[in-house]
Amino acid sequence: MDYSIETAPLEKLQCDCMIVGVYQDQQLSASAARLNNSTQGLIGKVLNRGDISGKNGETVLLNTIPDSVIGRILLVGLGENKALTGKAYIKALASAVNSLKKPQIKFVVCCLSEIAVEGCGQQWKSRQIVEIFSDAAYQYTHTKSDKGTESQLEKIGITAPETELVSAQIGLDQGKAIAGGISFTKLLADLPANICTPTYLAKQALGLGEKFAKLSISILEESDMETLGMGALLSVSRGSRQPAKLIAMDYQGGEKNSKPIVLIGKGLTFDAGGISLKPGLGMDEMKYDMCGGAAVLGTLQAAAQMNLPLNIIGLIPSSENLPDGDANRPGDILTSMSGKTIEVLNTDAEGRLLLCDTLTYSERYNPDVVIDLATLTGACLVALGRIPSGLLGNDDELCDDLLAASETANDSLWRLPLWEEYQELLKSNFADMANIGGKDAGTITAACFLSRFAENLRWAHLDIAGTAWRTGLTKGATGRPVALLCQYLINRAASQA
Ligand code: BES
Ligand code: MN
Ligand code: ZN
């Protein structure tokens, strides 16, 4: 799909469909008023008939526009006539985009970047327009015979006044980079576990390394992990015939001596639970247990494409968790890279075993901050559902920065406490700690476990178990939290400039 900024007068923009907003009580946005004038009051007539009230998210498609180079007009309701919240803006935009699924509509002009949004300017708006069109256009076809159904939309024009051309173009470029990262993440996540193995993920990282000069990739093999003493990570992969990989991506966009931001993504390409086998129903969805890793790949791709002036390290510990004669047994005791010992009371709590050794490994980069993302606990779905990702961490400033980025990116987070009192739940009679904390507060005890390996780090953990994919009829990856992480990185780059 092709995106462009359009500064010509609306009436001159030849297109298959033009999207304009209308507010409640029959009030027209500037573009709607302009089109209304150039079409002998067509839009006013539709409003008078009551075909659209202007409620946020409503749409009406006007199918023929007499004597015009504009093929169709899509009216979209915006709600009350005042600055919209970012959320309301995105809701209106998404419903407009989703109602354009006709094969004849190839070139769309979107006039919604003129709409006032609280605290957001032209750049944010054109970025959102790109991200939302791209999100709607994503279709998984990789393992389908019929690949012909990929989006019919070919060209999206975003209108902007001449005076705002520069910010509109910056937003468009950021949007393209972020949307590309999100699509890449979704595709990797949607691929089945018999294709998307740890080796496959490693190859994808190497592919990115070839595309971007500032990005270098190294892959740690099991023998390297052995040498490093990564007993926790290796214990998970012992039960799998696929060799584990620890993918290290090094993006050097900043000053040589500026401390890197480290992103760690759980890359479990399939989680059957191991000897503590999961129930069969819905187990296919455990191909999504690598969504954290996929989001790190997508975020690094976007960061490299945006040429951000930052140093960023992506680390993806990748393995499968399967039952096997050589798999972890409940009661087994492991020695992690940090030297701390772990009693495996449930082999299905494997993500933290991968992450703990990767957290220890991350210390060698002398990071500014470390953020891990993981589909870590079913308990996160119980606590928060599928709306926000869970946020926990040992550094308030980092958590606040992430919360602020999540607001701007409309990729929500909710912070949970990581109080000392919860640590007790991880007591083991036979090792330094157990790998589970019992029935209560599962998301918090998982983060407590990780926190023991992050004592020397400014660290935050995102539990994306509820947000990385949709279940049910629209089952599929969401690409979250790539938008949030990109926003955090953009903010970091801006604050040092
Ligand atoms: N990958 C799962 C978490 C998960 C479950 C994510 C369902 C999304 C949906 C993780 O490895 C796991 O199995 N966690 C266990 C932990 C428990 C044994 C303490 C869980 O949540 O049941
Ligand atoms: Mn598990
Ligand atoms: Zn898992």
Whole-angstrom Cα Rg for the chain: 24
Secondary structure percentages of the chain, helix, strand, coil, to 5: 40, 20, 40
pLDDT at 87 over 90: yes
Burial 109-119 (b: 16+ CB within 10 A, else e): bbbbbbbebee
CA separation for the pair 219, 315 (Å, rounded): 10
Q: Is 266 a residue of the active site?
A: no
The reply to whether ligand 1 has any atom less than 6 angstroms from the CB of 320 is no
What tens digit of pLDDT does each residue of 110-141 get? 999 999 999 999 999 999 999 999 999 999 99
pLDDT band for position 101 (cuts 50, 70, 90): confident
Q: Can you give the pLDDT at residue 176? A: 98
Q: What is the pTM of this model?
A: 0.98
Report how far ligand 3's centroid is from the alpha carbon of 274 (Å): 10
Whose alpha carbon is nearest atom 22 of ligand 1? 378
What tens digit of pLDDT does each residue of 335-371 get? 999 999 999 999 999 999 999 999 999 999 999 999 9
In CATH, which superfamily holds the domain spanning 183-496?
Zn peptidases (3.40.630.10)
Report how far ligand 2's centroid is from the alpha carbon of 233 (Å): 13
Taking the CB of residue 403, how many other CB atoms lie within 10 A of it? 17
Q: For residue 405, list its beta bridge partners.
A: none
CA separation for the pair 453, 359 (Å, rounded): 6
CA separation for the pair 209, 186 (Å, rounded): 19
Positions of CATH 3.40.220.10 in the chain: 2-141+150-158
3-state secondary structure of 205: helix
Positions of CATH 3.40.630.10 in the chain: 183-496
Q: Can you give the pLDDT at residue 490? A: 98
Q: Is 278 a residue of the active site?
A: yes
Q: What's the burial of 157, exposed, middle or buried (CB within 10 Å: 0-12/13-18/19+)?
A: buried
CA separation for the pair 209, 384 (Å, rounded): 36
Pairing of strands 73-79, 17-23: parallel
The reply to whether ligand 1 has any atom less than 6 angstroms from the CB of 341 is no
CA separation for the pair 228, 231 (Å, rounded): 9
Q: How far is CA 292 from CA 23, 283, 326, in A?
A: 39, 18, 26
Q: At what angle do helices 86-98 and 122-137 cross, to 10 degrees?
A: 40
Q: Quick one: DSSP state of residue 15? A: B
CA separation for the pair 75, 18 (Å, rounded): 9
Q: Can you give the pLDDT at residue 372? A: 99
Selecting among 72, 127, 352, 452, the annotated active-site residue is: 352
CA separation for the pair 361, 365 (Å, rounded): 8
What tens digit of pLDDT does each residue of 164-203 get? 999 999 999 999 999 999 999 999 999 999 999 999 999 9
Dihedral angle, C-alpha 448, 226, 327, 429, nearest 10 °: -40
Mean pLDDT of the chain: 97
Query: Is the bond preceding residue 260 a cis peptide, omega within 30 degrees?
Result: no
What is the number of the ligand closest to the CA of 390? 1
Q: What's the burial of 21, exposed, middle or buried (CB within 10 Å: 0-12/13-18/19+)?
A: buried
Residue where the block lists tokens 């700690």: 433
Distant-in-sequence, close-in-space partners of 476: CB < 8 Å, separation ≥ 6: 140, 186, 190, 469, 470
User: What CATH class does 2-141+150-158 carry?
Assistant: alpha beta
